Structure 1
Amino acid sequence: MAKKLLNNIMSGTDRNSHLFLFYRMNMRNRDFELLAPAGNINIFKAVIEAGADAVYVGGSMFGARAYANNFDEEELLYAIDYAHLKGVKVYLTVNTLLKNDEIEKLYDYLLPFYERGLDAVLVQDLGALKLIHDRFPDLSIHTSTQMTVTGIDGVRFLKQFGVQRVVMAREVSLAEMKEIHEKCGMEIEAFVHGALCYSYSGQCLFSSMLGGRSGNRGRCAQPCRLPYCAGNKKDTYILSLKDMCGIKDLQKLKESGVYSLKIEGRMKQAGYASGVVAYYRRYIDSMKEVSDKDYKNIAGLGNRCGFTDKYYFEHNGTDMVTFEKPNFVSDASDELPQFSKIKIQGKLTLKEAEPGALTVSCGGYRFTSYMDPVSHALKAPAERKNVAERISKTGDTPFEFENIDITMDNDIFVPNGALNKLRREAIEGLQNEILMQYKRTASASYSWKSKKTSEIKPSGDPKVIASVRDGKQLYRLLEYDNISEIYIDSSKYGRRDFVKEFNDDVFCVNNAEKKAYLALPVIFRRSTRDYFETISDQLKKIDFEGFIVRNYEEFFWVKTRFAGKKIVTDHNMYTYNDMAKSMFFDNGADADTMPLELNQKEINRRNNKGSQMIIYGYYPLMVSAQCVHKNSYKCDRTPQITYLKDRYNKIFPVWNNCSECYNIIYNSCPTVLFNNMQKIKNAGIDSLRLDFTFEKPEEIDTVMAAFESNSADGIKEYTNGHFKRGVE
């Protein structure tokens, strides 16, 4: 099927002529970029032949598909040249979080690809973004969907650092994308086809906490594709979403200001990848209504329990979930299309006693190679037919002669080796002429070393912080003198009386001689931002210390609205490396929270001045726009706890934030690090944080007693999190 599609995609254009390249460059629908995945060089070539405008690939390091057949350095350099000869761009994924010892290697890793002409990099890590922007200023930076960008303030924050394109979170609607494009002028990339994560990308620790395979490091084990018991539904695939297909929404995507249409599938086979690309190429160029037959054929290339496009229009829904076992069903063969070469023109001149010359040309490019003066034939003279055959042999080069104009004298002798060399040098010269426009030279070498924590002396005992979600927790914790700051989650308040109730709580915290902070929602999409905008002037009048921010939208919003208020970034504002941390501090952060996936050794290698660490709490495993309660029962807009049970009978609490419409799935037991207090203090950490979520007042007393005794005594079941094991 895929091969037939590729042969027909040009709708009559002769693929065996130079018109193919002309079509690629000049006759396509320029409103969109069709961005295709490739897991190896054969798929890379296949999706280009199928009509991709750009291809994204993973290299040997730092890619979010660590188990894919990623490109080694030689393959990637070849791929960059191959794509540029075809008029196609290449984007490299550098979309994992980098540890301190890794970010030091990033410059040398990128350097050969940068100099070869790599078109863009996709990044998740803020430190990687800074390094690339500083050292490769003319290399385009695209932020990965792993950055969880959902609104205009997040885009405005990233735009300051040279970001040219934002890949939106898959959950963002077309209406939200339109607002972002119109207000920020940013180039927007949106997912249009392929697998959907249940969690907001970048907000998932499920695989990490259960098995040590982190999605933030490209090693997700996909626990969302397993069965769970939820409410009255047993062994149901309630966390598994259908595949996305937006081919029927091309006109709406265009109207929303989306430029790049991203197909997911770097771990898919060639037949799937090239077939999907071919269909999208056809409908992007024609902008016709998609036929039922073609839609069915696209589904036949591969899907999980059908397709959905609902995130473009709705916040969540049961019809987006597979519920059934989500096997990937595909009838696509792995047959590769024929890779039609680039047509070139040749002009050969062989005159006695003059240097032989071969000029080759393609589009506006040309190159002439020369050989030694042609001699008179003493015996058998060169025949035109044999000369033409010798010059026409382009071998495994990407070129093929469409015609060769030969001017030659009679009775001349030309050695075959000389003709081979003449042809080889001409083709190599033409290729270099074409590729020269892409190549760069780096301005200088780069070395960056983090300041080790051994150089930073701890400033006495760290202060103790508690975060709370309800009033009973708050008032019990006010009784503990060793707690100096309290973070009050915004979900504690209903929207009707938010300001009054928060003001009352701040008054109580201040009276207890503690400092109060407002912890903003994990996700800050348009409706949430609009609400907080309406109460921002009232919030400024309240005597609280500052904010806990959990996304780029909130960071920028607080920084620009609340001068004088402190900003603390939460654990999901990842500061794996010191460069990422410095980006936040240099732009307004007063403190950061240690990422939850670092182990003891990695924490010790980190600059922990101004950092806090969560030493107790139920770790969040997923943040999702979907709602387990709604999909198990119905939506009653009542914040509550629903429970998921896995195949090992582990129970995972799921809390629904109805005001902001997202779910958080928590670990089955809390992380408790009280047994490691001296090691934590030796790392130079400024603050220790106790995160309370579901605990009742008497359970808080048990936790506080254990904390004060530097042990886990009295806590029945707990985990050490990643403190000892970490992630790869």
Structure 2
Amino acid sequence: MKILSPAGNFESLKMAVYNGADEVYLGISKFNARNNIQGFTFDDLDEIVFFTHIHNVKINLTVNILFNDDEILDAVDLVVSAYNKGVDCFIIQDIGLAYLLHKYYPQIEIHASTQMAICNLEGAQYLSQFGFKRIVLAREVLLDEIKRINDNLNVEIEYFCQGALCVCFSGNCYLSSYLFDASGNRGKCKQLCRLPYSLKKDGKLLAQGYLLSAKDFNMSTRLPDLEKVGVDVLKIEGRARRPFYVATATNEYKNALLGKKVNEQNLKLAFNRGYTAGYFDGNGKIISNYNNHIGFKIGEVKKVNYGKRFNEIYFTSNYELSKKSSIKLFDGTKEVSTIALFDLKQLDTDLYMTTSTQRAKVGNIVNLILDYDKEQQVLSFVNKVDLQIEITALQNEKLCARCNILGKEFTTFGEALEPSKNQALTEKDVLTCFQKNNYFNPIVTLNTNNVFAPKSVLNEFRRTFYENLKQFVMQNLSHNLAKQKIELYGKAKIFDDFQIVESKSTHLKNSNIIYSPEHYDEQDILSFSECCKNQNKKMYLDLPNFATKQDVEFLKNLVEKHHLPIVANNYYALTFNTEIVIGGGLNVYNHYSASFYNLPIICSEDSIAPKTDFPYMTLRHCPFKNDLGATCDKCPYQKGYTLALQNGKELKIKSKKLSSCTFYLTD
């Protein structure tokens, strides 16, 4: 398996590469889902391409947002320009962009973003027809389904192994957009899942806490399982996280793949919000007491001397602490305060004292969240590329340097040298000079016959060598794809005059009825279809955006056997042999996407965009198990449950049941 590490800036990029990443992923400009971080620009690509490729590391460029009609052709131009500079592949969500790239530029390698929500073999098969070489699976996909995809499809499988876990199915969250007009897809996520919520039933309070705050993903103990079922690439989440996190996570997973034991403490120091192996762990995905970094326990507060401005806090710890580190204090599971250890005294082997304006009391648990000395040590690590350089310095001939890079021979020349009268040029002189660079660890051999080389001449030759070498590398990595003229899109087929119905008792008004049942029961669905026919209305079965193998088999058999038209909200449904309407779950945002499907689309009247009746969040964990300790055999679910924000805004909890339950937050 390969490791794919995040890079939100140059420092993180270096840490990923130096610590063993096989590939990195990063975004530039406004066309990526982490537009909220100040990362890279298009002009940075030359440096990025050169640096990564001399380390034999591939670049995945994220172009993983949805594009409107005014943006999509600019996105195509960006991809082509980046490819010509030497970017290896592109992570894409918008099917319209994928359609255009596959049609006009089939040479460009595209990967399906996790936001395309591929959760089964059928969805993966559908996308693989249109040029996708790799699929970033939804985190909700379990081992059996990963194996089924690997066994039946010639496509690379990428799977997350570490980092933040979006509680919403495959990151398809619309809550920030709904409440604050801030698109998470555009990198403006308000992290609303990290806020406190109250679970209520008909207004009665049942539970409180960070009820939507997922633990961090940590698959370090499950790597043999992932390799066995066919995962090709392990993806570390975290383009918005610190370089220390990138370095640590990359290094620990690289060591794990080399057969070394993962240092869980190092991972927890980098970032820890509680860990879960995701949906491999059953239902333990929410950590309702905390919503941010908690580090790991190192000690306990033993004494506090309270002062007018500063408190003296005495705590025990066997951990070797350094100044400028940071700790968090906890009272049981409640976070009390965060303290930066600028004033730290070690009073005994396991006793420390610090002064702070922050609160503390005897018995508080002490967690370490930042080890300053360790962080500086990690960030100072540099792993330059070994480069064998053969220098020829002969009397009355031009200086010559040769090396082999990217499997090709490179040669450059300098000034002619004169015979030495006093101090002849030595191999040490050349090595000392050529060590002055940012990228390479030169291993020099010198072929000479007693020549003199002034330092100025040697320094200029070194500069010329490295500058020409960089140009040589970039020329060999670049492409020269000519930009194609793209045809204008056709008119979208709009599906209108419909009514969404969740219950058979609803009065039917429109000619097209979209049936979105809570329970996908065959007899219930067929009975309602017949009811619609009797009223000269046409029923379309609204298919869920998540489906397991068992669900797909049931739905496919039901739909095809009884010739039921459907509304597709995930790519798996597009493999069904029936009449299809494109639903909101497929995120048609531009006319090129509409042209790709060439099917009726549910959209608003003034734009190609999903109607707002699509759920704001899709949850694959059970909030009733998590928050109330409920069990499936005594499921408490019924209408009337809500999740309330502190501002009083309440979100309804709805459920859909197939082989298992999926929950939705709606208005």
TM-score higher than 0.5: yes
Seen in structure 2, the aligned counterparts of structure 1 residues 109 and 178 have a Cα distance that, compared at 3 Å, is: same
Residue 308 of structure 1 corresponds to which residue in structure 2?
276
Q: Do 1:225 and 1:237's aligned partners in 2 also have CA atoms closer than 8 Å?
A: yes
**Residue in structure 1 matching 2:503, options 446, 470, 475:** 470
Q: Which residue identity does 2:189 align to in structure 1?
A: C
Aligned to 2:513: 486
- Give distance in 1, aligned partners of 2:428 and 2:222: 54
The code of the aligned residue for 1:491 comes to E
- Name the residue aligned to 1:325: 290
Q: Mean alpha-carbon deviation: is it higher for 229-238 or for 430-439?
A: 430-439
Question: Contact conserved, 1:125 with 1:580, CA < 8 A, in 2?
Answer: yes
Aligned to 1:688: none
Residue 201 of structure 1 aligns to a residue whose secondary structure is helix
Q: What letter matches 2:275 in structure 1?
A: F
**Aligned 8 A contact 1:469 1:492 in 2:** no
> Cα deviations across residues 58-86 of structure 1 (Å, max 9, x unaligned)?
11121111112221122232111100000
Distance in 2 (alpha carbons) for counterparts of 1:69 and 1:175:
39
Query: How far did residue 47 of structure 1 move?
Result: 1.4
Q: Does 1:356 align with 2:396?
A: no
The equivalences for 1:119-198 within 5 A come to 119-198=88-167
User: Displacement, 1:154?
Assistant: 0.6
Give the structure 1 partner of residue 348 of structure 2.
none
Name the SS of the counterpart of 1:84 in structure 2: helix
Equivalent residues of 2:391, 2:444 under 8 A apart: no
Q: 1:371 to 1:243 in 2, by over 3 A?
A: closer
1:421-436, aligned counterparts within 5 Å? 421-436=460-475
Matches within 5 A, 1:504-583: 504-536=527-559, 538-540=561-563, 544=564, 546-556=565-575, 558=576, 561-562=577-578, 566-583=579-596
Please name the residue that 1:709 is paired with: none
How far has the Cα of 1:97 moved from its partner? Answer: 0.8
Map of 1:404 onto structure 2: 445
| Contact 2:77–2:483 (CA under 8 A) maintained in structure 1 | no
SS at match of 2:222: helix
**Could you report, residue by residue, the CA deviation over 1:638-678 in whole angstroms, capped at 9, with x for unpaired residues?**
7523211211122211012233534444444xxxxxxxxxx
C-alpha distance in structure 2 between counterparts of 1:226 and 1:353, whole Å: 74
Output the CA distance in 2 between the equivalents of 1:444 and 1:650.
49
**Cα distance change, pair 428–308 in 1 and its aligned pair in 2 (3 A):** same
Distance in 2 of aligned mates of 1:664 and 1:407? 75
Alignment pair present for 1:625 and 2:623: no
Counterpart residue number, 1:441: 480
Secondary structure of 1:654's aligned partner: strand
Matched residue type, 1:255: K
SS in 1 for 2:165: coil
Contact 1:464 1:484 in 2 (8 A): yes
Kept in 2, the 8 Å contact 1:41–1:75? The answer is no
The corresponding residue for 1:111 is 80
Is this contact kept in 1: 2:651–2:666, CA < 8 A?
yes
Q: CA deviation at 1:257?
A: 0.5
Going from structure 1 to structure 2, the CA distance change for 1:513 and 1:207 (only over 3 Å counts) comes to same
Picking from 371, 389, 400, the partner of 1:346 is 389
Percent identity, please.
Answer: 27
* Alpha-carbon offset, residue 432 of structure 1: 4.5
Provide the rounded CA distance (Å) in 1 between the counterparts of 2:497 and 2:405: 69
Task: State how far apart, in whole Å, the 2-side matches of 1:395 and 1:108 are.
Answer: 38
Seen in structure 2, the aligned counterparts of structure 1 residues 515 and 533 have a Cα distance that, compared at 3 Å, is closer
Contact 1:342 1:398 in 2 (8 A): yes
5+ unaligned residues in a row in structure 1: which ranges? 1-31, 596-602, 669-728
Work out whether residues 33 and 54 of structure 1, in 8 Å CA contact, stay in contact via their aligned partners in 2: yes
What's the secondary structure of 2:586's corresponding residue?
Answer: coil
SS of alignment partner, residue 142 of structure 1? strand
Q: Per the alignment, in what secondary structure is the counterpart of residue 96 of structure 1? A: coil
Q: CA deviation at 1:149?
A: 0.6
2:648 aligned residue:
649
1:537 and 1:450 map into 2 onto residues whose CA distance is 31
- AA partner of residue 585 (structure 2): N
> Could you say if the C-alpha distance between residues 390 and 549 of structure 1 is closer, same or farther in structure 2, counting changes exceeding 3 Å?
closer
Match of 2:232 among 236, 259, 270: 259
The two structures have a TM-score, normalised by structure 2, of: 0.81
- 1:85 is aligned to 54
> How far has the Cα of 1:35 moved from its partner?
0.9
Structure having the larger proportion of residues in helix: 1
8 Å contact kept, 1:392–1:401: no
- Distance between the aligned counterparts of 1:404 and 1:138, measured in 2? 41
Distance 1:386 1:554, change over 3 A: closer
Are the equivalent residues in 2 in contact too, given 1:652–1:665 (CA < 8 A)?
no
**Stretches of structure 2 lacking an aligned partner (at least 5 in a row):** 295-368
- The match for 1:297 among 260, 266, 281 is 266
**Cα separation, partners in 2 of 1:539 and 1:338, compared to 1, 3 Å:** same
Deviation at 1:537, TM superposition (A): 5.3
Rounded Cα–Cα distance in structure 1 between residues aligned with 2:626 and 2:396: 85
Report the secondary structure of 2:248's partner residue. Answer: helix
Give the Å deviation of 1:531. 2.0
2:430–2:458 Cα contact (<8 Å) kept: no
